[in-house]
Chains A and B, each alone.
Chain A
């Protein structure tokens, strides 16, 4: 009797492992081994294919790199300003669209989500032409008298960064909104009804019911947004091409330049990529610690 039970559960376990193994092996070969190779590469330095071992020189060198430091500042600027605004906006929109009595809900949700379906390159180019000196935005501003002459949005450091932030918010709010909407489906309508009867207004309902119950979703979107923003690339390349005198260049864009545009130093590029990995991991860790405390 004992023998039979062991073989049966063993067999089931083996079946499970058999299904997992192909995918696991593929991930190991395609992802993990290259990651380890890149890590080893980050300890080498040299031009093109002529690389030699150099210890932690690349990591030390990174912090003396004026352009890389500027890229880091820019990326964190986007992170600190764009991510909170976008997430709060997504939350508010989700709350508004969760309203039972709203007509054409599907239409509004589609409209707000549609930007996410656009190609990164095309939307960046469209935004670039929108904010050009003779673009639509300047046309409107000058014709309505708000400005006297066209303002060169992409030629000034601060306004160029703000254009990128606006573009990012436009594109990703819908994406996060969908996450919140699906999270809100799990909140019983009776809870809101009870709160209304007790005299809570919309804002109180939002802060006391919606937000606490959506904590896991907020944590998820927070980590994903941080991850995405730290690795920002397409907007920097296609919208501003690094911006007026490196004012909008991001870390990934600089890594691309070091690898493909300049004389290639792949070791250095790999080291910078690993720094981004460390940053993302640290921020994700912090967010999880903060997010999971009051559970």
Chain B
């Protein structure tokens, strides 16, 4: 009897334990979102349910609590002032997961797991909208005036003449330099403004000699730098009709030659992954960097370097036509999915905040460093404030001005395939392969990937 009793007790304990776990796991997203008035909830990717009928809740997927999520929360707070029963439910989801979940949902035909609004990398817009045309809403009736954004930025989310994204963060390329190290080589930030790549390499050699530090680090196996340089001359890896543009692309050949020369002279040091790249900046092992302006957040984490950084534009190509000192790397935009049950609310929300509120951009700038592509925001006073970290200059206003000069280019649907093919080519070129042969291989690989 005793044994049976103990056995029964254990089974009951187990059953209760299972029920408790199961009960608390499900249903937490909607219940807490509805009961917590005036608060935003940030789960970690467990459950998302689109707004129920009559509900004024929007579910958002985005990443980076210090940046995108903070911006979205601020936008919700601003919108709530005029719409008190509005709620937002932000689910922190890394970009790779957003892409994977979108692919899974759309390819299985079951879009019900998607949120109302999602943040999407600009480079992936073409691919995703063309692959899954039923997943996104056309923003034509949203009342958003897209001329308030930089043309190049808007172009990323335009497919077949229709807008699918509300532009968000700025990816304008900046040249950031350690002014104290430049001084040791007898140079200033002005020596790096509006220059050509030859002049950059010359300066780089002086800096290397005087300080022993390279001017630039880049992640090996990624083609960010190459793509930035291509776009600075308005060149693309694709033609208008979508065919590959690598082999006869004289700009690409010039870009790759410059890259190889920089690695060989020690001005550009390739590192193995993103961590090493950011560490090279924060630990002071590099005299500068050229990347999208979102790199400012990383630079500013090295508090001991405050006051020793200066910002300017990037070098330009010499042989290419239409060469400029401006380019873009990354950036994302907000898209509304067809799973949204209250699209008017979503469109109104985005139109009044990210596409309409200068105040929003003023509020998020100091805390997140998130730079707008919303041109009216660039004229605000907050943007004109001097930044101590960067030598007392009003860099934000500068960067918004740069953004207006960025040439647009053709991203293409097969952007990621092209990126990888070019990355393979440049890795081999750095190790000594013939550049023209590598470009040919890259184009062959790309054509293969495009022909299905």
Chain A residues with a Cβ under 8 A of chain B: 45-49, 64-67, 128-129, 132-134, 152, 154-155, 241-246, 257, 259-268
Contact = CB atoms under 8 A, between A and B. Distances in A.
29 contacts: A46-B452, A47-B131, A48-B130, A49-B132, A49-B134, A66-B448, A132-B272, A132-B276, A133-B276, A155-B220, A241-B273, A244-B221, A244-B431, A245-B221, A245-B423, A245-B428, A245-B431, A246-B424, A259-B103, A260-B99, A261-B416, A262-B127, A262-B416, A262-B449, A263-B130, A263-B414, A263-B416, A263-B417, A265-B452
A124 to B, nearest CB: 12
B273 A49 contact: no
Contacts of B131: 47-49, 263-264
Contacts, number: 82
B106 A49 contact: yes
Given A242-B221, A263-B416, 4 more contacts: A49-B109, A129-B275, A155-B272, A245-B423
Interface centre among A45, A128, A155 (most CB of B within 10 A): A155
A154 B219 CA distance: 12
A48 B271 CA distance: 34
B100 A260 contact: yes
B270 interface: yes
Nearest to A267: B452
Contacts of A64: 448
Given A47-B131, A260-B100, A266 B107 contact: yes
A262 B417 contact: yes
A245 B109 contact: no
B107 A65 contact: no
Contacts of B423: 245
A46 B271 CA distance: 37
Nearest to B433: A245
A262 B414 contact: yes
A264 B271 contact: no
Contacts of A67: 445
Interface of B: 99-100, 103, 106-107, 109, 127, 130-132, 134, 220-221, 270-273, 275-276, 413-414, 416-417, 420, 423-425, 427-428, 431, 441, 444-445, 448-449, 452
A260 B414 contact: no
A218 B431 CA distance: 42
A133 B271 contact: yes
A45 B276 contact: no
A129 B423 CA distance: 22
A263 B413 CA distance: 7
A46 B452 CA distance: 6
Contacts of B452: 45-47, 265, 267-268
Nearest to A256: B100
Interface centre among B106, B413, B417 (most CB of A within 10 A): B417
Contacts of B276: 132-134
B135 to A, nearest CB: 9
6 closest A-B pairs by beta carbon, nearest first, are: A48-B131, A245-B427, A245-B424, A262-B417, A265-B452, A154-B272
B272 A66 contact: no
A159 to B, nearest CB: 12
A215 to B, nearest CB: 42
B448 A155 contact: no
A129 B271 CA distance: 12
A66 B449 contact: no
A275 to B, nearest CB: 17
A187 to B, nearest CB: 39
Nearest to A132: B272
Contacts of B107: 48-49, 264, 266
Given A245-B427, A268-B452, A263 B127 contact: yes
Contact of A66 (B100, B270, B441): B441
B415 to A, nearest CB: 9
A133 B220 CA distance: 12
A65 B414 CA distance: 16
Contact of B220 (A46, A244, A246, A265): A244
B445 A264 contact: no
A16 to B, nearest CB: 26
Nearest to A261: B416
Contacts of A133: 271-272, 276
A47 B130 contact: yes
Contacts of B425: 245
Nearest to A58: B452
Nearest to A242: B221
Contacts of A262: 127, 414, 416-417, 420, 449
Nearest to A57: B452
A152 B431 CA distance: 12
A48 B424 contact: no
Contacts of A46: 452
A56 to B, nearest CB: 14
